[in-house]
Amino acid sequence: MKIKKLQWFVPVESHCIVYKYKKLDSIKGLMIACSIIGMYYVLYYSVFASVFFLISLYSFFTSYGIILDVENKRYKKVLFFMDKAKGSWHDLPEIKYVSIFNTTVVSTSHSISYNCIELKKKVLIINLVYNKNSLLHVFETTNYDEALNKARYIANTLKLPIYDASMRTGKWL
């Protein structure tokens, strides 16, 4: 009898649309600082410091995201580690249409002296709309042509209409 190997993280298929949620730069900086502090204390103190160091490295190299397999009509919300993903497949719900939505993402950072820095970035979000305005967020970009190409690919494969809400007045494509 053949024993099946348990794989925690598997490579991502090439035909799927992959989107990784972006980590804030302040979070990345915090993880680097925590790993440096943990590495210093590992050399001199305890096992607790080594656990702290490993957790900070793990959270620096992992991220969350979604993989959309349009051809097989399924998706999975995953945890990425480098170029591999962990998650289980779910069937796509009854999708009504694909929407392109324009929004502004605001990230706020506070310093030790209570100075506040706000960074604003305009992004285009591609959503799959189902069940009376429930959304499945599948992709995000700053380039309109890239968003339109991804939305057209998804819509053509699933035979759905596209609603472009990137301008002040939305229109069906």
Q: Which amino acid is at 48?
A: F
> What is the phi/psi pair of residue 4, to 5°?
-85, 130
> What is the phi/psi pair of residue 14, to 5°?
-75, -25
The span from the CA of 153 to the CA of 148, in Å, is 9
pTM: 0.71
Q: What is the pLDDT along the chain (173 residues), one digit of tens a residue?
A: 444 444 444 555 566 777 777 766 666 777 777 777 776 666 666 666 777 777 777 777 788 888 888 888 888 888 887 777 788 888 888 889 999 988 887 777 666 677 777 778 888 988 889 887 888 888 888 888 888 888 888 888 889 999 988 888 888 88
Using an 8 Å Cβ cutoff, are 124 and 147 in contact? yes
Of the candidates 104, 108, 98, 114, the one whose C-alpha atom is nearest the C-alpha of residue 157 is 98
**160 Cβ contact partners less than 8 Å away, ≥ 6 residues apart:** 95, 96, 97, 98, 154
